Amino acid sequence: MILVYAETFEGKISDVTFELLRKARELGDEIWTVVIGNAEIEGLGASDKVIHVEGERFNNPALHRYVLRKLIEKYKPKKILIGNTPIGIDLALGIMPTLVSCVDLDSKAKVVSYGGKVFVEVEFEGIYLINRGSFEPLKVDGEVEVEKVSIDVDKEIELLDVIKPEVDVDITKADVVVGVGRGAQNIVDLAEDLAESLGGVVGASRPLVDQGILPPSRQVGRSGRTISPKLYLALGISGAMEHVEGVKAKNVIAINKDRKAPIFRISRYGVVGDVEEIVPLLLERLR
């Protein structure tokens, strides 16, 4: 049996759960999905059974590791799939081997480690903390058997408050950052639309911040923030060293007039062209 941990926050199942279900289905074993806390159970049709541990107290994600520990002792699953997220990472346990930053698991598990500089293949069975975006989500509506289980946890961790982000965005935490440089200063509005359609935010190089076009919280680079999104779309950014130092993105796509612009040295895909021409066309297609 494979146990999939449904990450919930404020009563909603997080998207990463459906990615885990895709892989669990592929593995072919029976799937039990565990939902901890009060949450609306939906889209879990890919699992054979849902274990629901209810209770106001378990709306506190910090207690989930103790609930999971008891469930493991009770049901003895072979594999446990958890999203490698800020909540998921705390579910690494001392009672069962845990593999962190997993990107695939078949006969062997694959892990990205050493800051992305090394891939590791390992014989493993236990708790897999799986990176977001490793699998296509599998969200299936429909009836699933739900078993309500009650669990007692003795650890004293109390949730006092949930702090929501302040009005301005935190570019260091975004999955997609659309970067605007001097070459894109006339299309900042379009860049905002583009970012919005990709579920991301707009970052900027220094000149745009200095000109007051965007606030300092948006500045990427040495004197700004370091970003590590899945995608950094660099528009009209030449890629001066001071800027590039702050870009630790998985993928960089750059659009720039100058084929020799240093930004292309850190890019996976490049377009040599005018952002004012290409961005509107791109936006039409991504909206």
Give 146 or 213: the residue with its C-beta nearer to another protein. Answer: 213
Beta-strand relationship, 231-235 and 176-180: parallel
> Within 196-235, which residues bind another protein (CB under 8 A)?
198-199, 206-207, 210-211, 216, 222-224, 230-231, 233
Q: At its nearest, how many Å lie between another protein and the CB of residue 41?
A: 22
CA distance 275 to 155: 55
> Within 14-43, which residues bind another protein (CB under 8 A)?
none
Would you count residue 175 as binding another protein (CB under 8 A)? yes
Q: At its nearest, how many Å lie between another protein and the CB of residue 52?
A: 22
Q: Which residues contact 191 (CB under 8 A, 6 or more apart)?
A: 178, 180, 184, 202, 235, 279
Would you count residue 195 as binding another protein (CB under 8 A)? no
Would you count residue 106 as binding another protein (CB under 8 A)? no
Would you count residue 258 as binding another protein (CB under 8 A)? no
> Within 45-104, which residues bind another protein (CB under 8 A)?
60-62, 65, 69, 85-87, 89-90, 92-95, 97-101
Alpha-carbon separation of residue 255 from 118, 137, 181, 189, 197 (angstroms): 29, 30, 10, 17, 18
Give 50 or 191: the residue with its C-beta nearer to another protein. Answer: 191
Beta-strand relationship, 12-13 and 8-9: antiparallel
Q: Which of 141, 155, 189, 260 binds another protein (CB under 8 A)?
A: 155
CA distance 279 to 286: 10
8 A C-beta contact, residue 9 and residue 59 = no
